[in-house]
């Protein structure tokens, strides 16, 4: 996307992080208490739709759902294995950036006016959401 010119890294430091990650982490007990597998499928579909809305579907590079960690405290409390389900969404955070004519412009009537609007990778666009889930 950067190589093709869809996204610009103009103004970013050479060592800036280009990718961001959203992680949706919910334990299996929550799903069991709220409708099981069908509820979990709808939950993660909504979570992915949220990521598309926040990051732009065209900017999402990958999305992986897995359950590979056991919640030891809840496993002990309930006497059965309780897993953490994780949806990892990797995306390039993009913002619209206005490029304005500078003072060096020959036509002084254009100074300060918008020359073009570009999609710019933003190392400062990050989002942290906490959901009230057990």
Alpha-carbon distance of 26 to 42, in angstroms, equals 13
**pTM tops 0.75:** no
pLDDT at 11 over 70: no
The backbone region for 56, taken as left when phi is positive above 0, alpha when psi lies in -120 to 50, beta otherwise, is: left
Q: What is the pLDDT of residue 54?
A: 79
Angle 119-23-55 from CA coordinates, rounded to 5°: 20
The string of pLDDT tens digits covering residues 65-119 is 998 889 899 899 999 999 988 899 988 777 677 778 888 888 889 888 887 776 6
Of 109, 89, 90, give the one whose Cα is nearest residue 101. 109
pLDDT at 122 over 80: no
Kindly report the number of other CB atoms within 10 A of residue 62's CB atom. 10
Q: What is the pLDDT of residue 55?
A: 80
Q: What is the pLDDT of residue 10?
A: 64
Q: What is the pLDDT of residue 119?
A: 62
Q: What is the pLDDT of residue 2?
A: 67
């Amino acid at each position: 996307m950067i190589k093709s010119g869809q996204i610009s890294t103009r103004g970013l430091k050479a060592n800036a992080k280009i990718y961001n990650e959203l992680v949706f982490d919910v334990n299996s007990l929550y799903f069991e208490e709220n409708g099981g597998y069908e509820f979990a499928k709808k939950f993660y579909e909504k979570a992915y739709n949220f990521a598309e809305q926040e990051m732009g579907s065209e900017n999402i590079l990958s999305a992986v759902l897995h359950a590979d960690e056991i919640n030891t405290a809840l496993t002990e409390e309930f006497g059965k294995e309780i897993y953490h389900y994780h949806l990892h969404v990797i995306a390039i955070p993009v913002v619209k950036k206005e490029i304005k004519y500078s003072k060096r412009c020959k036509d002084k009537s254009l100074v300060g006016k918008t020359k073009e609007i570009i999609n710019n990778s933003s190392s400062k666009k990050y989002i942290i959401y906490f959901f009230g889930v057990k």
